[in-house]
Amino acid sequence: MITVNCLSHWFGDKQVLDNLSLTVRDGEILGLIGVNGAGKSTFLRLISGVMTPTEGDVWYDGLPISKGETRKNMFFLPDDPFYEVGMNCRDLFNLYQTFYPGIQRDVFDDLIGFAGLPSRKPLSSFSKGMRRQAFSAIAFAIAPKYLLLDEAFDGLDPLARERFKGMVREQANRGCTIIISSHALKELDGFCDNYLVLSDKRFISPDHVAAKISSLVKFQVVFETEPTKVMFEALKLRHYQQNGRVVTLIAEGDEQIIRKRIDALQPILVDRLEIEPGEILIDTMEELTRGGGSL
């Protein structure tokens, strides 16, 4: 279990994180979402021991992260990980084998082979996605108890992304606790067990997200002729997507009132849809990015 207690951090005079507390259960996949510069990477650096928090502490199974011993069970994959000039996949494996003696060579070789990565070519000649796959292979071969992934999907093609998700899920199934950050909300949608939005130095509370879900409603509406967005101005729209005569919308307010207003537009079909958690987060983040939200 990862426990973060009242964590705050300053860069000089500027506060970047404010009083963050968090508990992550064993085997949980937690999605950490936030716009660029929200502090996701800083948060991951703090809970991985790379940085020391100005205030607060971080514990892994009751042990402080500041101790090297604690980090034996943890692997942090940063956005842009270190590799020496001229280092290839084999050298990378040797480096991590030094610190994680339990790393499984066969798993690493399999993953590298499956991704089609040349093991003797320097990593500097790889594309960002290829490098990402090489480091992911290291992470999965180490099979740590705690896995922290920063912007994990960056540079991965759709196929590699799906494979990566499958591997992450596999790790979680064997009890690995995973925190994965991304600014691309759609990547994490339906993949994580829980989500946290980091904005304005703080986490958006799960209660807030739950309250959001109960206040929003999603409809798919089909019209005889192509509609315009102006027709829906009576609704407090949170999301609007139009594909010809078909409109998908998320609106805030009482469901019955919203339904009546939509019916007044005389559609030929109205379908009530379920809202995915990711959509709520998109909505919440957009609201916060516009400066409209406060928690």
Partner 1 sequence: MSIEMRYFKYHFWETRIRLVILCVLSVLYFSNMADYSDGILAVDYMVYAGFVLAVFVPIREFQMFNTRRNLDTWFSMPIDRWKMALVHLLNGALHIALTLLTGMLFVALHVSTSAAYYNLFQLVAYYLIMLALTLLAYGFFCFVFTQANSTTDGTLFIINYLFLPTVFYVFMDQYFENTPRVFYGIVTLMGTTSRGLQSVFWGDGRFSNSFWTAEFGTGSGSELFIVNLVLNVLICGAATVFMLRLFNRKHTEKVEDVSDSWFGFRTLIPVMAVLTITSPSGLAAYTFRIVFIYVAYVIYRKGVHLKRSDYCVIAVYAALLLMMACVSPADSSFSWLL
Instruction: Show the tokens assigned to 279.
Output: 């959509």
Shorter beta-carbon distance to partner 1: residue 104 or 220: 104
Q: Which is nearer to partner 1, 64 or 190 (CB)?
A: 64
CB of 205 to partner 1, least distance (A): 27
* Long-range contact pairs involving 253-260 (C-beta distance under 8 Å, separation at least 24): 253/215, 253/217, 255/217, 258/217, 258/219, 259/219
Shortest separation between residue 59's beta carbon and partner 1, angstroms: 16
Q: Report the residue number, 74 or 217, with the smaller CB distance to partner 1.
A: 74
Which positions touch partner 1 (CB under 8 A)?
11, 42, 45, 48-52, 67-72, 74-76, 78-82, 84, 94-95, 98-101
Q: How many CA atoms lie within 13 A of 214 on its CB side?
A: 5
Of 103 and 262, nearer to partner 1 (C-beta) is 103
Nearer CB in complex with partner 1: 82/158: 82
Alpha carbon distance, N-terminus to C-terminus of the chain: 26
Please state the closest distance from residue 174 (CB atom) to partner 1, in A. Answer: 20
Closest CB to partner 1 among 73 and 215? 73
Three-class SS state of 80: coil
We find the least distance from the C-beta atom of residue 50 to partner 1, in angstroms, to be 4
Residue tagged 């000039």 (tokens)? 85
Identify which of residues 72 and 208 has a Cβ nearer to partner 1 in the complex. Answer: 72
Which residues have C-beta within 8 Å of that of residue 139, sequence separation ≥ 6? 75, 77, 147, 149
Taking the complex as a whole, the smallest distance from the CB of residue 142 to partner 1 amounts, in Å, to: 10
Using the CB atoms, write b or e for 141-161: b if 16+ within 10 Å.
bbbbbbbbbbbbbebbeeebb
Buried b (16+ CB within 10 A) or exposed e, 24-61: beebbbbbbbbeeebbbbbbbbbbbbeeebeebebbbe
Q: How far is the CB of 74 from partner 1 (least distance, A)?
A: 7
In the bound state with partner 1, the residue whose beta carbon lies nearer, of 100 and 153, is: 100
Contact by Cβ (8 Å): 175, 27? yes
Q: How far apart are CA 51 and CA 66, in angstroms?
A: 9
Strands (E), 114-215: 146-149, 177-182, 194-199, 202-204
- In the complex, the smallest distance separating the C-beta of residue 260 from partner 1, rounded to whole angstroms, is 54
Q: How far is the CB of 8 from partner 1 (least distance, A)?
A: 14
